[in-house]
Chains A and B, each alone.
Chain A
């Protein structure tokens, strides 16, 4: 369904992505792991054209284009088929929870208002916020804000939902509610690409785990392959570090 090939992206002289390929089929839950600075987030942002990659191609069903040569129309079509959940939620501060969800439907996708509100409420119900329609982001907790962010991303029923470290900015006790929503989405068959440090989530939900380091994909496989029999030395080191940290936290 979604295939990206040979993605290269630099910021100035700093090369972040050095030729990344990714293939996503309908219903896939792909978790991208890797140390900070490995290019995970940049990869996700390139897929949604929040960053413009210098090299590489993207094939999204019938849309075939290079990243560099993508027209405004291509970008708009790709964005309308993807949902994006941000690390810092990035909710529209001047809009209520419901308006945050319906804004893209009404203004961006030209869905009639009544229909958009119906779908907006449905999305908010799904993330457990049926009693918070008219709350502004400033009146919501971090976990609730991120769940509005997820509702905003799923309301348009995108083909793929991109999650950029959705729980990294949350207090530890709020992480669970967001992961819970993501798990239920996965169960319903949503296609997701998730950048995260939540190993438990990767282990339970992912059907493919991708390990990135230094702007390339070092290793990928099913969670059980990657976690119990990692091949590459960098993967082994990373997992050791993360799992020890997890252990420390649990004390």
Chain B
């Protein structure tokens, strides 16, 4: 089997232009999902019954459906739904079908990641242990002060490895955005491959790029973890 090396080099350079799109989807999704997931977790922990049940339902719905299905569903359903909403109900003259498809990517991935992150934050906050909460109350702190100053700072450090995991999973799932005609790394490589049927080469290129990206994300999180978990150090003498 001969690999078309010059094609690979060209495609590599070409596919690199998809990195901003991939990173944009990842970053925007994280920026939307992290606060939403965090407050969902906090709400559930503080024992908001109705909200908690709703959140649990949402989480198990997202967990119980494949991402691909969510993408297909959203991409075929949402535009028509929005179109109907704008045209017939709000009487706004917006052509929804001309909207940048990346917006659908933001929506689908945010829905997904919020659910996952809410569980990540919930388990992290629970790991801090009730004892410190009681100690904070006994020291005269209110329960929201205790959350803000004692529980949450520790919970976030505990959550970091799992947030890293979620980010990497998200980064990889953005490769499915090509199904929504978003021109990310995967989409560009696939289109290049289609000309001369060089799929193996194209996939190899995509593989290398994703490994590089994911490694960088992992390094970033390692550094963050190191700088935030100073209080866990042991006696080194």
Contacts and interface: CB of A to CB of B under 8 A. Distances in A.
Interface of A: 48, 50, 76, 79-80, 82-84, 86, 88, 90-95, 103-104, 107-109, 136, 138-139, 149, 152-153, 156
A80 B140 contact: yes
B154 A94 contact: yes
B96 to A, nearest CB: 48
Interface stretch (B20-28, B69-77, B127-135, B201-209): B127-135
B139 interface: yes
Nearest to B156: A94
B211 interface: no
B233 A136 contact: yes
A109 B231 contact: no
B141 A107 contact: yes
Interface residues of B, number: 24
B234 A139 contact: yes
A58 to B, nearest CB: 16
8 contacts: A48-B138, A76-B142, A91-B132, A95-B231, A104-B136, A104-B139, A108-B139, A152-B135
B147 to A, nearest CB: 12
A139 B233 contact: yes
Nearest to A137: B231
A84 B149 CA distance: 19
Contact of B139 (A93, A94, A138, A152): A152
Given A94-B231, A107-B145, A138-B232, A86 B140 contact: no
B180 to A, nearest CB: 42
Given A107-B145, A139-B233, A94 B150 contact: yes
Nearest to A109: B140
Contacts of B134: 50, 84, 86, 90
Interface in B117-169: 128, 131-132, 134-142, 145, 149-150, 153-154, 157
A74 to B, nearest CB: 14
A54 to B, nearest CB: 19
B99 interface: no
B234 A90 contact: no
**Residue of B142, B231, B232 contacting most chain A CB atoms (<10 Å):** B231
B130 to A, nearest CB: 9
Contacts of B1: none
B62 to A, nearest CB: 31
B5 interface: no
B235 interface: yes
A138 B140 CA distance: 23
Contact of B138 (A84, A138, A139): A84
A82 B235 contact: no
B140 A92 contact: no
A246 to B, nearest CB: 29
Contacts of A107: 140-141, 145, 149
Nearest to B141: A108
Contacts of B139: 103-104, 108, 152, 156
**Residue of A76, A108, A152 contacting most chain B CB atoms (<10 Å):** A108
Contacts of A149: 135
Contacts of A136: 230-233
Contacts of B157: 94
Contact of B140 (A79, A88, A90, A94): A79
A103 B138 contact: no
A204 to B, nearest CB: 27
Contact of B141 (A86, A88, A104, A138): A104
